[in-house]
Structure 1
Amino acid sequence: MTVQTERPASRPAVVTKDPGGGPVKRDSRARRARLAPYLLLLPAVAVTLIFLGWPVVKDLSLSFQNLNMRQLIQHLTEWNGISNYKAVLTSEDFWRVTGRSVAFTAVNVVSIMVLGTLVGLLLARLGRRMRVALLTGLILAWAMPVIAATTVYQWLFAQRFGVVNWMLDAIGFHSMAEYNWSGGQYSTFFVIIVLIVWQSIPFVAINLYAATTTIPKELYEAASLDGAGPWKSFTSVTLPFLRPFLFATTFLEVIWVFKAFAQVFAFNEGGPDRLTEILPVYAYIEGMGNQHYGLGAAISLLTILILLGLTSYYLRLVLKQGDDEL
C-alpha cells in the first residue's frame, strides 16, 4: 500500500467584490477626504475675496483714472494710464512721508517689543494676586477703543489743563506748564508713539507670558545645577523657547504699526503743517481731503507694496534664522 505524499493543488484565490461598489466606493471616500480641507477653507477664502479682494481691485481701477469731484458728479470715467503713479513717484513729499513712515514704524515696534517682553517676563515672576491685577490692567488698556484712547491722550497732553503739563510743572519743570505738545513735529510724534506703545504692550506681554508657561521647569532646574545665573538661564533656556513667538509677534506689530491711521489722524490730522503724516494718512488727505481720488488710490496701492516689501524682507530673515538653527 502506497501513501500519497504530494500536496493537493492549491485552489486559485477568489476575489470578492463589495456589492456596494467596493474599490470604487473606497476611492470616492479617499477623494472626499483629500478635498475636505479645501472645502473647509472655501468659506474663508470667499469672504476674503469679497471683502478684501474686491476693494483692492476697485482701488487698482481708480488708480488709473483722473477722478476728482467733477468726474464724480458727472459720472465720468477718464482713464489716464500711469499718470497718477508718475506724479506720486516723482513727488518729494511721497518719499519724505515714506521715510518718515518707516522710521515711525521702527521706533514703535522696537519700543513695543522691548517693553512688552519685559512686562511679560514680569508677569511670569509675580505672585497670583499681583499677576491678576496686572493682567486686568493690561486687558483694560487693550480693550479700549482706539478713538477713545486717542481722546484721553489729547486730554492728558492738553496745553492748558492737561495732567502731564501740570505734573511736570509740579515737579519743577516750570517751562512745561503750558507746553503745546501738538505744536511741533517731534512732540506730536512723541505723544502718538506713547499712545501706540501703550495700546500694543498688552498683546505682546500677555502672549509672551502664555509662552513662558510652556517652558518645562526641569530645564531651569538643570541650568541651576550647572551654575547658571538668572541671565544665563534666560539666554540658554527662556530665550530659545520664546524666539519663535518674538519673530511672529514682531511681524504682526510691523503690519499693525505701519498702517496706524486712526491714532495719527485723530490726534492732530497729520499736523502741524502735515509734518506728522505717515503713508495711510497721506493717502487719505490726498484722496479724500484734496479730492484727488485717483492719486489717493495710487498712494494706497504703493503703500501696500511697500508694506509687502518690508514684511517679505523680515520673513526672509526669519526663515534664514530658522535654517541656521537647523
Structure 2
Amino acid sequence: MKEAPRPAKEVRRRAYGPYLLLLPALAATAVFLGWPMVTNGLLSLQNLNMGQLIRHATEWNGLDNYGEILGNEEFWRVSLRSLLFTAANVVLIMGIGTLTGLLLARLGPRMRLTLLFGLVLAWAMPVIAATTVYQWLFAQRFGVVNWVLDRLGWHGMADFNWTGGQFSTFFVITVLVVWQSVPFVAINLYAATTTIPKELYEAAALDGAGLWKSFTSVTLPFIRPFLYATTFLEVIWVFKAFAQVFAINEGGPERLTEILPVYAFIEGMGNQHYGMGAAISLLTILILLALTSYYLRIVLRQEEDER
C-alpha cells in the first residue's frame, strides 16, 4: 500500500526546520563575533592614535597599515616565534596528555579519582591566578624552584633570574601553558578509552599481542579521532595564549618573548597605534586560519587513506 503524499507545508517545515534551529546560534555569533570583527576591520583601515581619538577624527589610510606591517621584519620574526612556540607547546601537551590519559585508564578506582581530582583543579585554576603562582615559584630571590635547585647542589641557580633571558622566560611560560592544558587532553583521551570494548583487548592478547602491539592495533584506532580534535583545539588555544605570555613578563625581556597576540596589544594599546594593532590582530587571525586549515587538510587526507 502506497504512503499518502505529505502536505507541502509539512515538507517545507521538515526542510527548513534544521536551519530555524540554527538561527539563534547564528544570530549570537553575528552579534558577539561578527560585529567586533567588522569594527576591527574598519579600524585597521584608519590612522588612529590618541590625538585622533580625543578629537573624534577619522583618518582613513586604506591598506597602509597592512603594507607597513608586512614590510616590517619584526612582524615576521614574531610570526615565526609564535609558530615555534605553538608547535613546541602542542607537542608537549599532546605527548604528556596522552600518556596521562592512558595512565588514567589503567589505574584503580581510588588512584584514578585522586588523579582526576588533581587534574580538574589544575584545569579550573584561573589563568592569572596560575600565572601568579608560577611567578612566585620562579622568583629570583625567594622562588621555590631556585631554592630546590640550590639544595640539590646547583648553587649557581640560587639567584637565577628566570625572566631575564629569552629562552628561560619561554621555559617558564611553556611549563605554565603545558601544566594548564594537559588536564583537558588527559581527561578527553581517558573518556575515549572507556568506549573501547574489552573484548578487543582480550582478542589481541589471545593473538599474542604485547603492550605496544595492543596499543597500536586496538587503542590507537579508537582514540585517533579524539587526538585529531584535541590537537586542533590545542593549536588554537596555544597560538592565542596572550594572558600567560603578557602576565609573566609582558613580552620581555626587550620584547623577545612576544607572540602575535601580545605584539598586537603592545603595538595597539602600548604604543597607541590603534589602527596598527587592529591590522596585526586581523593578520593573526588569518595566520591561525591558514594554520588550522592546513592541519585539517592533513587530517582529512589521512582519514581518506585509511578508508
Report the TM-score when normalising by structure 2. 0.98
Cα offset, 1:26, TM superposition: 2.1
Gaps of 5+ in 1: 1-21
User: What is the CA–CA distance in structure 1 between the aligned matches of 2:7 and 2:98, rounded to whole Å?
Assistant: 52
Partner of 1:260: 241
Alignment of 1:221 onto 2:192: no
The residue identity in structure 2 corresponding to 1:279 is L
Partner of 1:285: 266
Q: Secondary structure at the match of 1:101?
A: helix
The equivalent position to 1:246 in structure 2, one of 227, 242, 251, is 227
Cα offset, 1:168, TM superposition: 0.4
Cα offset, 1:34, TM superposition: 1.6
Partner of 2:106: 125
Alignment of 1:156 onto 2:156: no
Partner of 1:170: 151
The equivalent position to 2:11 in structure 1, one of 9, 30, 44, is 30
The residue identity in structure 2 corresponding to 1:315 is L
Cα offset, 1:253, TM superposition: 0.4
Percent identity reads 76
Partner of 1:40: 21
Report the TM-score when normalising by structure 1. 0.92
Partner deviation per Cα, 1:81-130 (whole Å, 9 max, x = no partner):
11100110000100000000000000000000000000000000000000
Greater shift after overlay, 25-34 or 37-46?
A: 25-34
Greater shift after overlay, 88-97 or 31-40?
A: 31-40
The residue identity in structure 1 corresponding to 2:76 is W
User: What is the CA–CA distance in structure 2 between the aligned matches of 1:28 and 1:250, rounded to whole Å?
Assistant: 44
Cα offset, 1:180, TM superposition: 0.3
The equivalent position to 2:181 in structure 1, one of 200, 203, 210, is 200
Partner of 1:191: 172
Q: Secondary structure at the match of 1:78?
A: coil
Partner of 2:83: 102
User: What is the CA–CA distance in structure 2 between the aligned matches of 1:136 and 1:26, rounded to whole Å?
Assistant: 55
Partner deviation per Cα, 1:197-249 (whole Å, 9 max, x = no partner):
00000000001000000001111111100000000000111011111110111
Cα offset, 1:30, TM superposition: 1.9
Following TM superposition, where does structure 1 have runs of at least 4 consecutive aligned residues deviating by more than 2 angstroms? none
Alignment of 1:62 onto 2:43: yes
User: What is the CA–CA distance in structure 1 between the aligned matches of 2:80 and 2:261, rounded to whole Å?
Assistant: 13
The residue identity in structure 1 corresponding to 2:232 is F
Alignment of structure 1 residues 128-143 onto 2, 5 Å: 128-143=109-124
The equivalent position to 1:302 in structure 2, one of 271, 283, 288, is 283
Greater shift after overlay, 28-37 or 208-217?
A: 28-37
User: How many residue pairs align between the two structures?
Assistant: 304
User: What is the CA–CA distance in structure 1 between the aligned matches of 2:8 and 2:191, rounded to whole Å?
Assistant: 44
User: What is the CA–CA distance in structure 2 between the aligned matches of 1:30 and 1:156, rounded to whole Å?
Assistant: 64
Alignment of 1:73 onto 2:26: no
